[in-house]
Homo-oligomer: A and B are copies of this chain.
Amino acid sequence: MALIVQKYGGTSMGSPERIREVARRIAHYHQQGHKLIVVPSAMSGETNRLIGLAKELNPEPDGRELDVIASTGEQVSVGLLALALHKLGLKAKSYTGWQVKIQTDSAFTKARIMAIDDANIRRDLNEGFIVVVAGFQGIDENGNITTLGRGGSDTTGVALAAALKADECQIFTDVDGVYTTDPRVVPEARKLEKITFEEMFELASLGSKVLQIRSVEFAGKYKVKLRVLSSFTEFDSNDMGTLITYEEEESMEQAIISGIAFTRDEAKLTVTGVPDRPGIAYAILGPIAEANIDVDVIIQNTSVDGLTDFSFTVHRNDFNKALAILNDKVKPAVSARDVRGDNKSAKVSIVGIGMRSHAGVAAKMFECLARENVNIQMIATSEIKTSVVVDEKYMELAVRALHQAFELDKLPA
Contacts and interface: CB of A to CB of B under 8 A. Distances in A.
B65 A86 contact: yes
Contacts of A86: 58, 61-62, 65
A64 B62 CA distance: 31
Given A94-B68, A98-B98, A143-B99, A87 B16 contact: no
A65 B84 CA distance: 11
Given A98-B98, A143-B99, A79 B83 contact: no
22 contacts: A16-B57, A20-B57, A54-B80, A54-B83, A62-B82, A62-B83, A65-B79, A65-B82, A65-B86, A66-B79, A66-B83, A68-B75, A68-B78, A68-B79, A68-B96, A69-B75, A71-B75, A72-B72, A96-B145, A98-B98, A99-B144, A99-B145
Interface residues of A, number: 36
A12 to B, nearest CB: 15
A19 interface: yes
A72 B76 contact: yes
A80 B96 contact: no
A409 B204 CA distance: 76
A53 interface: yes
A58 B98 CA distance: 25
A86 to B, nearest CB: 6
Given A19-B57, A61-B83, 15 more contacts: A53-B76, A54-B79, A58-B87, A62-B82, A65-B80, A65-B86, A65-B94, A68-B94, A71-B75, A72-B72, A75-B75, A96-B145, A99-B143, A99-B144, A99-B145
